[in-house]
Structure 1
Amino acid sequence: MKKLFIICASALALSGGFAAAQVGGTAQPNMAQNNAPMAAFTNPQTVPNDLARVDAALNNTLSFQGRFAQYGADGSFAQGTIYLSRPGKLRFEYDSPSPLLIVSDGVTLTQQDRALETTDRVPLSATPLNFFLRENVNLAQDTEVVALQKTPTEWRVAARDGSGEMDGTITMIFDASTLALKEWVITDGFGGNTRLLLSDLVYNQRLNPRLFILRDDSRRDRRR
């Protein structure tokens, strides 16, 4: 079974691997800003204050809904609608023809594949998504921050699990002026990148709690 790296989800594969959302062969967009390598930390002396600003921006985002586009490390492409409600709740509704639905209820991240009639589960705490879905985000305390790169248009914060229990890195990319999260990149233990871009986001409106409850009507239920 191929791995799904999302947001997410995405991040899911780093904790054990869900099935890939293979929809065509659209290539990933070029992630490089230019040919010159950037230093891991653009302004080392301001990293604590910069991370505190990022934490505040994430903590002030109570919810959002909008669209996502997912570019897989294997060349796959998928898109759909995303719903996020902190702490811990997330929903990815993939557009047809993808059969996937991914939901976090705050404790467990669950993937349903309607085509295979399967359900897979993994603890949210075992995925990098947990880092920015917590009630109180503190990246310096909860992760090992390995890069904080700043340009006039965006900030890129790369973090990994400081305990060493999860392979790979998550890079969160923020708008430089508003510090709104606009995409993230999951780098797996083999160096493959999966990119998820966010668009048309509507913030801090009440979302239906039922969005984050997944009814298990599949024939096979596999727990990880």
Structure 2
Amino acid sequence: MKTMTKLLATALLTVSAPIMVSAQVGVAPQPTLQRASTLPAFTHPQTVPADLASVDLALNNTGSFQGRFTQYGSDGSVSSGQVHLQRPGRVRFEYDAPNPLLIVSDGVTLVQQDRALETFDRVPLAATPLHYFLKENVRLQEDTEVIGFQKLPTQWRVTARDGSGEMAGAITLVFDASNLALREWIIADEFGGQTRVELSDLRYNDRLDPRLFILRDEREDRRDRRRR
């Protein structure tokens, strides 16, 4: 059961998300990934605890944001759409047409809907890498195993994985060095693949409609009506 949950969690956020893409395949390698790979895992080891505390504070001061996202798959595929995030635990990724995917977390369960196939897939939010920075009180040093912290002139990059070993892979959070605003994240799976999600046009701490984070399976609603 745990294996199935982990596989589904990986699929939701890495492999299966770009099933249909809204841009052409064949994207050039991302320069930020290449540049960071030439640096040591910890560029400033003496200041890591204080730097992590600053990152935690920045995340905890971000109650919500909404804007655009662009997702780059390790196979060169690209897709984009609207993102709405409300901490703790709530997020909505609405992919642009023709991509049929909608991914919603209500704070407990992450649901992926494929409108074309009329499917719903569910995993606990806590079984996904997104759980770490959607918590009400983010504490990366206590809740994860931080395996990298790179401070570049324009960005800070924090790489963490599940310290318990229950979840495979790792997540890298990329922040603007000037204000520690979250700009992107990279999810690396256990097979060596990477999915990068870049954020843009963000508006912070707006009041978001709570209905954005509710996704019901219409098939279940129809079955319930028939039973009555």
Fold in common (TM above 0.5): yes
Aligned equivalent of 1:20, options 3, 17, 20? 17
Which residue of structure 1 lines up, in the alignment, with residue 132 of structure 2?
Answer: 131
Percent of residue pairs identical: 64
Deviation at 1:115, TM superposition (A): 0.3
Taking a change above 3 Å as real, the CA distance of residues 207 and 38 of structure 1, as seen in their structure-2 partners, is same
3-state SS of 1:102 partner: strand
Deviation at 1:55, TM superposition (A): 0.1
Q: Which amino acid aligns with 1:156?
A: R
TM-score calculated relative to the size of structure 1: 0.88
Which residue of structure 2 lines up, in the alignment, with residue 58 of structure 1?
Answer: 59
Does the Cα contact within 8 Å between 1:156 and 1:172 map onto a contact in 2?
yes
Report how many residues are paired.
208
Give distance in 2, aligned partners of 1:207 and 1:217: 23
Name which one, 1 or 2, has greater alpha-carbon Rg: 2
Give distance in 1, aligned partners of 2:202 and 2:67: 4
Which residue of structure 1 lines up, in the alignment, with residue 226 of structure 2?
Answer: none
Give distance in 2, aligned partners of 1:67 and 1:186: 18
3-state SS of 1:32 partner: helix
Which residue of structure 2 lines up, in the alignment, with residue 197 of structure 1?
Answer: 198
Residue-by-residue CA offset, 1:153-195 (whole Å, 9 max, x unaligned): 0000000000001111100000001000000001111111110
Give distance in 2, aligned partners of 1:36 and 1:113: 35
Taking a change above 3 Å as real, the CA distance of residues 13 and 96 of structure 1, as seen in their structure-2 partners, is farther
Deviation at 1:216, TM superposition (A): 1.2
Could you tell me which runs of 5 or more consecutive residues in structure 1 were left unpaired when the two chains were aligned: 1-11, 220-224
Runs of 4+ residues deviating >6 angstroms: none
Does the Cα contact within 8 Å between 1:109 and 1:122 map onto a contact in 2?
yes
- Is the deviation greater in 126-135 or in 18-27? 18-27
Q: What RMSD over aligned residues (CA atoms) do the two structures have, in Å?
A: 1.7
Taking a change above 3 Å as real, the CA distance of residues 166 and 14 of structure 1, as seen in their structure-2 partners, is farther
Does the Cα contact within 8 Å between 1:15 and 1:122 map onto a contact in 2?
yes
3-state SS of 2:84 partner: strand
Deviation at 1:75, TM superposition (A): 2.0
Give distance in 1, aligned partners of 2:196 and 2:140: 20
- In terms of fraction of residues, the more helix-rich structure is 2
TM-score calculated relative to the size of structure 2: 0.87
Could you tell me which runs of 5 or more consecutive residues in structure 2 were left unpaired when the two chains were aligned: 1-5, 221-228
